């Protein structure tokens, strides 16, 4: 096919540089206007392989802002690009335009009609947020896309998104009833059912009339060229006039003009609001997992399974099964769904108003598989929890695949071709052979029910990826044509598939699409270069990581070599750590793991990302930070890595490690912040107050000698204000109180020196100096369990043997990695002899203890640190483990309080230790334990004490934690293992109804005491 690279977008760069555009825009709007390089860089990418720098960014405060911005853009001929979560996979949301991000402020529910089952929403509302809002009404919006946690309704309409259950509910186009739109020429009004268009403003009526004329004129072409599959999202929906989809757009076949805007990728008009059709929440579901000996057989059978009326038929292939089985948490879930060693499974779901319907359909599925020659191949799952767990595995399998290290990445460009079900098996088989021919392989998953199988090939876009991409796309396209399928069945055209529009629809319809574009947007201002008149998919100048991608050579403080590898896509093997050729020794490649899917913008359960949740600024999302780091590391922010723009983007990162766990590709921003801070300190020096906080473990022994003096700040009026100026601690905060009766100086601690101890208790700086009662409680609990306990002390060879041990966390937080390494070395040297004879190291403070399993492994501490890591446990992990193994006997008795509300420290959540904490609390007889669904408490070490972070810190706490604590009955125990979490709870409830949170060991200690009284 001919490769054209044309776009008639207005000259993009000029308005930003001559100053008139930014000036006029700023005076016209109330919202945030950004023209700096870092902000533009953060909006230059989406979940595709592309990067195009926008002219500027507007985060509108209202619809008036959008209207005003369009006026300015029109008069200066600057293109406009509407954007929601920016999770598009095809480059729809990147372009040389003014990007309008409406996700921050334009996200309200505007109208709701329960009886008509309709809701009208602003475009920035996130799908999961809408469904959470609808749940109490027993309704949902059923286009359940995988990115539901972050994607916006405006973006879903823009892409004509489709969910796993589209066979039952259709695509967006089947579920949008009306769109209130704003056109580039300033006119606005409602596009909806044809019958209502008579009331529309004259400009809209004129467009509707002209569209109808185009539709009538193109009747034959529409019938000849538009694929007759439901999953067709490419081009404009001109077939509203002569429906071609397997599923009609409207129940009565009438025309709805909103459907022409659905799937238009922001190229026709700005969606101001959308009226959506809702469905009743399915009450009952049943899942049949069909096991197949080959992928081919699975695909062959899909066409028969859909005759049973399922709500989903989802494929999980052998690679995904293998990946899931490799994960200890998922293994039992997937194993329970397997019969032997299948090559593929189809998750076949049935839903109904009563339990009997889905069960009957499940029985019919079993019969059908027998008729198809595969008896005994179905694992029925009727329990809701088991079903949910298996759906989670399906999602996580994809995430594991996306977390592949090395320059070769799973690239999406033919990932959503849709073919009629009768040809699915042959299509999969032939395409697999094409991959093999090009030295790669694909992993298959997703929507077998509608013939849309997702497949991604591993390609290295910095080397030969572009050439392979084109070659594979050509062969795939030929097959799709042969099978009369759709080249774009889910994700749209964008930059990657606009060149295929003419291929798919032919020259006549393509010219008709251009006519449609001209009717709405004659000056080509709306997202130019998408759907019509686009660029080539393999135009390397548009790649995020193009051939020759430069990385600044930097010497790293932490060991990132695990990321510095190459991968072999066919054999699925990685080269040795450190061999990937990264001039930043793996750090750049670790940063590049962010594929921009935007999951860090989620608001549901989980920790990631507390600062984004509070600010809703792209800059303060994990993605925004990763992109800023990538731009700086590749010299795109002025040639210096230690750039103020990175410092700013990382400023509100609380190092909670939520991303380490929740990000599908494992971006570990907390560790990246340590690395950056170290470079920043080297370049700019260490601020006095940062050094004071970092070296707290060093000066703590002196403060403990004169605690009354150290505590004066919170008792003498005015001192807190002075302290705020000198040290940056907010005067509204109280500081932790220094104690004279430190734990390590106590007789109990001095006596805990058993050379054969089973357990070595690591008492951190905070427990020792501020809350020694926690360490005493831990000692008491461990001894009550009959264990021999030694308290960790510096080794005899330590240069300062009398100075308490410290994990180095405070130094790491400030980027003082060398100092942190020195502390870590002391600690490792002190603990290694104990673990060498089989003892377990047990700690109280999550951020200290869990560092031994995390940062210690990349600080160049050698084999000793590797040996220590698996033997270092939080006290609850240790107690839960011993309990499970039947080795723990604690004489516990009921407490007067019958409920405990548990808040998890972020690092407990990141390392999956919350289950142990719950298990241990449940050992207390009659105690009902409930976990607060909270993200970070907002204190995060010294973060929340700092005056410049106080407001953000309190907002984080108020998001979930503090309201839950305040709502708790006074007789409920509040439990929090993190020192800073406890402090935040105390600070946040100061006043009329103060609440004190306890470390879990204090609850056990009380229960032991209660047992003694009995």
Ligand X SMILES: Cc1cc2nc3c(=O)[nH]c(=O)nc-3n(C[C@H](O)[C@H](O)[C@H](O)COP(=O)(O)OP(=O)(O)OC[C@H]3O[C@@H](n4cnc5c(N)ncnc54)[C@H](O)[C@@H]3O)c2cc1C
Residues 6+ apart with CB under 8 A from 804: 697, 700, 701, 744, 763, 765, 768, 794
> H helices within 609-695, ranges in order?
610-615, 622-633, 644-651, 658-662, 669-684, 688-694
654 interacts with, out of ligand SF4, ligand X, none, CB within 5 to 8 A per kind: ligand SF4
Alpha carbon 187 to chain centroid, angstroms: 37
- Is-contact 638 37, C-beta < 8 A? yes
- Is-contact 270 66, C-beta < 8 A? yes
> Whose Cβ is closer to ligand X: residue 339's or residue 402's?
402
List, in sequence order, every residue forming a beta bridge with 349; answer none if it has no partner.
287, 312
Considering the rule CB under 6 A, would residue 659 count as an interface residue with ligand SF4? yes
Among 40, 423, 491, 616, binds ligand X (CB under 6 A): 491
Q: What is the contact mask toward ligand X in residues 522 to 551, using x (rule: CB under 6 A)?
A: -----x------------------------
657 interacts with, out of ligand X, ligand SF4, none, CB within 5 to 8 A per kind: ligand SF4
Among 72-80, 665-673, 695-703, 761-769, the segment contacting ligand SF4 (CB under 6 A):
665-673
Minimum CB separation from ligand X for residue 476, in Å?
A: 19
Considering the rule CB under 6 A, would residue 182 count as an interface residue with ligand SF4? no
Considering the rule CB under 6 A, would residue 263 count as an interface residue with ligand X? no
656 interacts with, out of ligand SF4, ligand X, none, CB within 5 to 8 A per kind: ligand SF4
Among residues 854, 882, 879, the alpha carbon closest in space to that of 869 is found at 854
Minimum CB separation from ligand SF4 for residue 607, in Å?
A: 6
Among 256, 348, 597, 774, binds ligand X (CB under 6 A): 597
Alpha carbon 853 to chain centroid, angstroms: 23
Please identify which residue in the block is written with the tokens 């004169």: 706
Q: What is the contact mask toward ligand X in residues 87 to 116, using x (rule: CB under 6 A)?
A: xxx--xx--------x--------------
Minimum CB separation from ligand SF4 for residue 959, in Å?
A: 13
| Beta strand segments in 336-493, E | 344-352, 378-381, 409-411, 442-447, 452-459
* Helix, strand or coil, per DSSP, at residue 80: strand
Considering the rule CB under 6 A, would residue 83 count as an interface residue with ligand X? yes
> Whose Cβ is closer to ligand X: residue 400's or residue 782's?
400
Minimum CB separation from ligand SF4 for residue 854, in Å?
A: 12
Helix, strand, coil % in the chain, rounded to nearest 5:
45, 15, 40
**Angle at 692 (CA atoms; ends 688, 696), nearest 5 degrees:** 165
611 interacts with, out of ligand SF4, ligand X, none, CB within 5 to 8 A per kind: ligand SF4
Among 169, 270, 413, 612, binds ligand X (CB under 6 A): 270
155 interacts with, out of ligand X, ligand SF4, none, CB within 5 to 8 A per kind: ligand X
Size of the site for ligand X (CB under 6 A): 36
> Whose Cβ is closer to ligand SF4: residue 170's or residue 813's?
813
> Whose Cβ is closer to ligand SF4: residue 672's or residue 820's?
672
> Whose Cβ is closer to ligand X: residue 315's or residue 839's?
315
Considering the rule CB under 6 A, would residue 142 count as an interface residue with ligand X? no
Among 653-661, 794-802, 844-852, 868-876, the segment contacting ligand SF4 (CB under 6 A):
653-661
Alpha carbon 64 to chain centroid, angstroms: 31
Alpha carbon 427 to chain centroid, angstroms: 32
Among residues 570, 574, 572, the alpha carbon closest in space to that of 436 is found at 570
81 interacts with, out of ligand X, ligand SF4, none, CB within 5 to 8 A per kind: ligand X
Considering the rule CB under 6 A, would residue 143 count as an interface residue with ligand SF4? no
Considering the rule CB under 6 A, would residue 957 count as an interface residue with ligand SF4? no
Considering the rule CB under 6 A, would residue 742 count as an interface residue with ligand SF4? no
List, in sequence order, every residue forming a beta bridge with 972; answer none if it has no partner.
899
Q: Which two tokens stand for residue 466?
A: 């572009």
**Angle at 466 (CA atoms; ends 464, 469), nearest 5 degrees:** 110
Among 542, 654, 872, 957, binds ligand SF4 (CB under 6 A): 654
Task: Quote the radius of gyration of the chain (alpha carbons, Å).
Answer: 30
Considering the rule CB under 6 A, would residue 665 count as an interface residue with ligand SF4? yes
Among 107, 237, 256, 271, binds ligand X (CB under 6 A): 271
Considering the rule CB under 6 A, would residue 658 count as an interface residue with ligand SF4? yes
Count of Cβ atoms closer than 10 Å to residue 737 Cβ? 12
Widest CA span in the chain: 94
Minimum CB separation from ligand X for residue 102, in Å?
A: 6
Considering the rule CB under 6 A, would residue 488 count as an interface residue with ligand SF4? no
DSSP 346: E
Distance CA 735, CA 730 (A): 10
How many residues appear in the chain?
1014
Residues 6+ apart with CB under 8 A from 441: 432, 435, 457, 458, 569, 570
> Whose Cβ is closer to ligand SF4: residue 361's or residue 665's?
665
Size of the site for ligand SF4 (CB under 6 A): 28
Among 517, 623, 678, 982, binds ligand SF4 (CB under 6 A): 623
Q: Which two tokens stand for residue 529?
A: 């270069």
Considering the rule CB under 6 A, would residue 655 count as an interface residue with ligand SF4? yes
Considering the rule CB under 6 A, would residue 449 count as an interface residue with ligand X? no
Site for ligand SF4 in 666-685 (CB under 6 A): 667, 669-670
List, in sequence order, every residue forming a beta bridge with 453; answer none if it has no partner.
446
Count of Cβ atoms closer than 10 Å to residue 645 Cβ? 21
Distance CA 393, CA 531 (A): 35
Site for ligand SF4 in 541-600 (CB under 6 A): 594-600
Among 155, 406, 610, 697, binds ligand SF4 (CB under 6 A): 610
Among residues 486, 802, 606, 680, the alpha carbon closest in space to that of 128 is found at 606
Minimum CB separation from ligand SF4 for residue 814, in Å?
A: 16
Considering the rule CB under 6 A, would residue 93 count as an interface residue with ligand SF4? no
> H helices within 47-177, ranges in order?
63-76, 127-134, 153-159, 166-169
Bridge-based pairing of strands 789-791 and 759-762 is parallel
Distance CA 879, CA 868 (A): 18
Considering the rule CB under 6 A, would residue 149 count as an interface residue with ligand SF4? no
* Helix, strand or coil, per DSSP, at residue 54: coil
Considering the rule CB under 6 A, would residue 657 count as an interface residue with ligand SF4? yes
Site for ligand X in 20-39 (CB under 6 A): none
Phi, psi of 765 (to 5 degrees): -55, -45
- Residues lying near ligand X in the complex (CB under 6 A): 46-47, 81-89, 92-93, 102, 123, 145-147, 151-152, 154-156, 158-159, 161-163, 265-266, 270-271, 490-491, 527, 597
Residues that bind ligand SF4 (CB under 6 A): 594-600, 608-611, 622-623, 625-626, 653-659, 663-665, 667, 669-670
């Amino acid at each position: 096919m001919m490769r054209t690279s044309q776009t008639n977008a207005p000259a993009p760069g000029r308005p930003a540089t001559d100053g008139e555009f930014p000036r006029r825009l700023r005076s016209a709007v109330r919202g945030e206007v950004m023209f700096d390089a870092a902000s533009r860089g953060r909006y230059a990418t989406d979940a595709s392989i592309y990067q195009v720098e926008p002219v500027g960014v507007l985060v509108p405060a209202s619809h008036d802002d959008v209207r005003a911005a369009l006026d300015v853009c029109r008069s200066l001929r600057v293109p406009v690009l509407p954007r929601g979560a920016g999770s598009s996979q095809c480059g729809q949301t990147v372009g040389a335009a003014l990007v309008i991000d409406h996700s921050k402020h334009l996200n309200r529910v505007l109208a709701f009609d329960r009886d008509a089952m309709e809701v009208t929403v602003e475009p920035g509302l996130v799908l999961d947020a809408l469904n959470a809002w609808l749940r109490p009404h027993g309704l949902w919006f059923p286009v359940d896309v995988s990115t539901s946690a972050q994607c916006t309704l405006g973006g879903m309409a823009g892409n004509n998104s489709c969910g796993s259950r589209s066979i039952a509910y259709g695509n967006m186009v089947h579920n949008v009833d009306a769109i209130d739109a704003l056109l580039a020429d300033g006119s606005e009004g409602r596009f909806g059912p044809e019958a209502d268009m008579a009331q529309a403003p004259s400009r809209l009526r004129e467009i509707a009339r002209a569209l109808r004329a185009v539709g009538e004129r193109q009747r034959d072409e529409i019938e000849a060229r538009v694929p007759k599959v439901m999953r067709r999202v490419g081009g404009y929906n001109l077939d509203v006039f002569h429906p071609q989809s397997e599923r009609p757009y409207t129940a009565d076949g009438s025309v709805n003009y909103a459907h022409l805007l659905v799937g238009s990728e922001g190229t026709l008009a700005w969606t101001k609001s959308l009226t959506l059709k809702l469905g009743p929440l399915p009450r009952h579901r049943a899942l049949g997992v069909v096991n197949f000996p080959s992928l081919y057989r699975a695909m062959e059978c899909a066409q028969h399974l859909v005759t049973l009326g399922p709500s989903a038929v989802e494929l999980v292939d052998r690679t995904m099964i293998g990946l899931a089985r490799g994960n200890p948490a998922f293994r039992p879930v997937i194993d329970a769904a397997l019969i032997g060693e299948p090559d593929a499974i189809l998750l076949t779901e049935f839903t109904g108003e009563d339990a009997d319907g889905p069960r009957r359909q499940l029985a019919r599925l079993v019969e059908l598989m027998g008729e198809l020659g595969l008896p005994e191949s179905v694992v029925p799952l009727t329990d809701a929890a088991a079903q949910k767990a298996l759906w989670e595995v399906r999602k996580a399998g994809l995430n594991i695949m996306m977390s592949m290290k090395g320059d070769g990445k799973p690239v999406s460009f033919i990932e959503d071709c849709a073919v009629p079900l009768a040809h699915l098996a042959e299509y999969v088989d032939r395409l697999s052979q094409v991959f093999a021919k090009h030295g790669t392989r694909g992993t298959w998953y997703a929507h077998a029910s509608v013939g849309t199988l997702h497949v991604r090939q591993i390609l290295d876009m910095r080397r030969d990826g572009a050439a392979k991409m084109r070659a594979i796309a050509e062969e795939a396209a030929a097959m799709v044509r042969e099978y009369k399928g759709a080249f774009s069945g889910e994700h749209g055209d964008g930059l990657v598939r606009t060149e295929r529009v003419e291929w798919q629809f032919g020259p006549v319809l393509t010219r008709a699409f251009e006519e449609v574009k001209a009717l709405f947007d004659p000056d080509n201002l709306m997202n130019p270069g998408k759907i019509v008149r686009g660029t080539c998919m393999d135009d390397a100048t548009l790649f995020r990581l193009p051939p020759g991608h430069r990385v600044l050579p930097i010497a790293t403080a932490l060991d990132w070599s695990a990321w510095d590898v190459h991968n072999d896509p066919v054999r699925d093997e990685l080269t040795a750590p450190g061999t990937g050729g990264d001039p930043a020794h793996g750090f750049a490649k670790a940063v590049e793991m962010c594929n921009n899917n935007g999951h860090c913008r989620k608001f549901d359960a989980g920790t990631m990302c507390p600062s984004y949740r509070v600010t809703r600024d792209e800059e303060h999302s994990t993605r925004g930070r990763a992109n800023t780091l990538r731009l700086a590391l590749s010299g795109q922010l002025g040639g210096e890595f230690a750039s103020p723009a990175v410092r700013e983007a990382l400023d509100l990162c609380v190092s909670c490690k939520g991303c380490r766990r929740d990000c599908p590709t494992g971006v570990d921003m907390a560790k990246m912040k340590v690395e950056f801070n170290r470079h920043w300190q080297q370049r700019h020096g260490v601020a006095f107050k940062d050094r004071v906080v970092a070296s707290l473990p060093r000066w703590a022994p002196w403060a403990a000698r004169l605690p009354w003096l150290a505590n004066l700040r919170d008792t003498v009026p005015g001192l807190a204000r002075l302290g705020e100026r000198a040290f940056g601690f907010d005067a509204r905060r109280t500081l932790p109180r220094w104690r004279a009766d430190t734990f390590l100086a106590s007789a109990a601690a001095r006596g805990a020196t058993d050379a054969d101890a089973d357990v070595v208790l690591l008492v951190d700086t905070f427990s020792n100096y501020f809350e020694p009662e926690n360490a005493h409680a831990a000692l008491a609990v461990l001894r009550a369990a009959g264990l021999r306990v030694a308290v960790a002390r510096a080794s005899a060879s330590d240069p300062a043997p009398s100075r308490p041990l410290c994990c180095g966390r405070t130094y790491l937080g400030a980027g003082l990695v060398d100092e942190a390494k020195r502390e870590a070395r002391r600690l490792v040297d002190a603990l290694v002899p104990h673990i060498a004879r089989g003892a377990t190291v047990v700690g109280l403070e999550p951020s200290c203890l869990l560092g031994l399993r995390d940062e210690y492994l990349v600080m160049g501490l050698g084999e000793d640190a590797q040996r220590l890591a698996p033997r270092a446990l939080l006290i609850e992990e240790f107690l839960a483990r011993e309990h499970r193994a039947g080795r723990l006997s604690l004489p516990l008795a009921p407490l007067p309080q019958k409920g405990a509300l548990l808040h998890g420290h972020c690092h407990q959540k990141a390392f999956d230790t919350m289950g142990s904490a719950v298990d241990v609390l449940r050992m207390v007889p009659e105690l009902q334990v409930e976990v607060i669904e909270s993200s970070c408490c907002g204190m995060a070490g010294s973060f929340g004490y700092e005056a410049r972070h106080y407001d953000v810190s309190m907002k984080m706490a108020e998001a979930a934690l503090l309201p839950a604590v305040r709502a708790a009955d006074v007789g409920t125990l509040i439990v929090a293992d993190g020192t800073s979490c406890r402090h935040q709870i105390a600070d946040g409830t100061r006043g009329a109804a103060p609440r004190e949170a306890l470390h879990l060991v204090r609850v056990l200690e009380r229960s032991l005491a209660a047992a003694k009284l009995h």
